[in-house]
Copies of this chain bind each other. A is one copy, B any other.
Amino acid sequence: MSEFFLDKRLAAVSVHALDLPLSRVLVMDDARFPWLVLVPRRPSLVELFDLDPAERPLLMEELAIAGSQLKALTKCHKTNIANLGNAVPQLHIHVIARQVGDAAWPGPVWGKGEAVPYAPQALEEFVQNVVNMF
């Protein structure tokens, strides 16, 4: 049985917040957008439909909890919940809190300008808030 490894390109731009029953929860180090990434901890997944059908409802629930809690935390206008994977093939799903007038509004966040790293204490606080969501 092969193991789960987090793609180094995802690890390089994020902090590991916690592991849910299925997914690893990453916090993207970009203070412009409260932005989580959920990575199902199964080897060799690329597409959403590569996940075992028996585990798909669990992923849906983890995304729903992440989205609703992130919205409650940030009081955002809308969440964006999306699998793209054009650049990094490992299956990962973005859960992003969007505010009217944010740095990419109303467009998508991907490829928009450069990430603005959090101040260390702000990152630590946000990660702790994310851990406390679940």
Please report A residues at the B interface, Cβ cutoff 8 Å. Answer: 46-49, 53, 56-57, 59-61, 63-65, 67-68, 71, 78-87, 89, 98, 105-108, 110-111
Contacts and interface: CB of A to CB of B under 8 A. Distances in A.
Give the interface SS of chain A, mostly helix, strand, loop or mixed. Answer: mixed
Contacts of A71: 47
A67 B86 contact: no
Identical copies in the complex: 2
B82 A48 contact: no
A60 B56 contact: yes
Contacts of A82: 80-84
A103 to B, nearest CB: 13
A123 to B, nearest CB: 25
Contact of A60 (B59, B68, B85, B106): B59
A9 to B, nearest CB: 13
A90 to B, nearest CB: 12
Nearest to A63: B48
